Amino acid sequence: MSHEHHHNHSHAHGLNTTTGRLFTTMALNFVITIVQVIGGIFSNSLALISDALHNLSDGVSIIISYFAIQLKKKDSSYKHTFGLKRAEILAAVINASALIVIYAFLFYEAVKRFMNPEEIEPLTMSIVAAIGLVANIIGTLLLKRDSKDSLNIRSAYMHLLSDSVSSVAVILGAIAIALWKINWIDPVLTLLIGIYIVRESYVILSEAIHVLMEGTPPQIDVEKIQEEVEKFSEVDDFHHVHVWMVGENDVHLEAHVNITDMKISESNELRARIEKMLDDKFGIHHVTLQFECNQCPDVGLLGKHK
């Protein structure tokens, strides 16, 4: 009982720390968005305005991430027996999709600007971009640790990281415009930044959709699981296997296990050993095993008839 209490306390503390960092980065982003929009208008820089829009999407993504974390903390209910653990995955989908949509618009604007370059004021452009860079670096550092454990936070982190990259590009572009008067570099930078961001967003979106589609976790080898389970002398075969993630780091497995005829009490001990092995070797904490004795001998590993 005491161990369980300690675990829950630590978990709550971690979430509070994460939300605090999210709020800090959100505040930074909204302030920088205003500064960059004003700077973009005065300098006539599309790259700077695109950076501002990206910062705005950063702030919105952080709000979405925050609410997703709060939803994830809710206990399971009769209506949602798994709880709302996939709220963070949905947040990742929304955040990544938003970035792709924003940059689709900016691609269009960049092509128009490239065809008809406009005069740009590089000093304002570089100063405002530098301010944005500092803010984005701070935000990126704040979320870096949490991004390793959460696809949701990673999507927000990617917003900030990509914005830091774009701020550097805008500064370099401003220097190039000041030195060589090549105003076409502004839309080119917008395109290059967009390609990078869309690519990263696509990766996050793919991972999130894989979870929502109940795909097998990438680190799980189902055939290897079968091999390990069938090493138990009491197991004849392991079949009708389903492995999926309810949320990140929350892997579930259900399967049929054909065992030798034995007492229920003996099967309980066997089940405990199999569950421990699955936890130790594969990190699967939620296991449902249906023991049977020659009930469906012609069913394959994935539940398909041979």
Q: Which helix (H) or strand (E) holds 236?
A: strand 235-247
pLDDT one-digit tens code per residue, 141-158: 888 777 777 777 777 787
Residues 73 and 188 in one domain: yes
Tell me if 68 sits within 8 A of 90, measured CB to CB.
yes
Residues 108 and 76 both lie in one domain: yes
Q: Would residue 306 count as lying in a domain?
A: no
Of residues 40, 184, 235, 241, the one with CA closest to residue 121:
40
In angstroms, rounded to a whole number, what is the distance separating the alpha carbons of residues 151 and 157?
9
Looking at the structure, tell me whether residues 105 and 131 fall in a common domain. yes
Residue environment code for 101-136, b if the CB has 16+ CB neighbours within 10 A, otherwise e: ebbeebbeebeebbeeeeebebebbbebbebbbebb
Q: What strands lie across the sheet with 235-247, from one edge to the other? A: 235-247, 250-259, 286-292
- Cβ pair 38, 127 in contact under 8 A: no
How many domains, the chain?
A: 2
Q: Encode 186-203: b = buried (16+ Cβ within 10 Å), e = exposed.
A: bbbbbbbbbeebbebbee
- Which range marks the domain in which residue 251 is found? 222-292
Domain boundary among 212, 246, 269: 212
Helices (H), 116-150: 122-147
What pLDDT is attached to residue 303?
A: 67
CA pair distance 259, 233, nearest whole angstrom:
9
Run of H or E residues at 64: helix 46-72
Segment 154-176, tens digit of pLDDT: 777 877 777 787 788 888 888 98
146 inside domain: yes
HSE value, Cβ hemisphere, 13 Å, CA-based, for 87: 19
Local structure of 133: helix, strand or coil: helix
| Secondary structure (3-state) at 284 | coil
User: Is 208 in the same domain as 246?
Assistant: no
The 3-state DSSP class for residue 79 equals: coil
pTM of the predicted model, to two decimals? 0.73
* Residue 156 pLDDT: 75
Residues 228 and 79 in one domain: no
Clarify whether residues 142 and 251 are in a common domain: no
Check which CATH number belongs to the domain holding 182 and give it: 1.20.1510.10
The pLDDT tens digits along the chain (306 residues) read 333 333 333 334 443 467 777 778 888 888 888 888 888 888 888 777 877 877 777 777 778 777 887 887 888 888 988 888 888 888 888 888 887 888 788 788 888 888 887 788 888 888 988 988 888 888 888 887 777 777 777 777 877 777 787 788 888 888 988 898 888 888 888 788 778 778 878 888 998 899 999 999 999 999 999 999 999 999 999 999 999 998 777 899 999 999 999 998 889 999 999 999 999 999 998 999 999 988 776 667 776 644
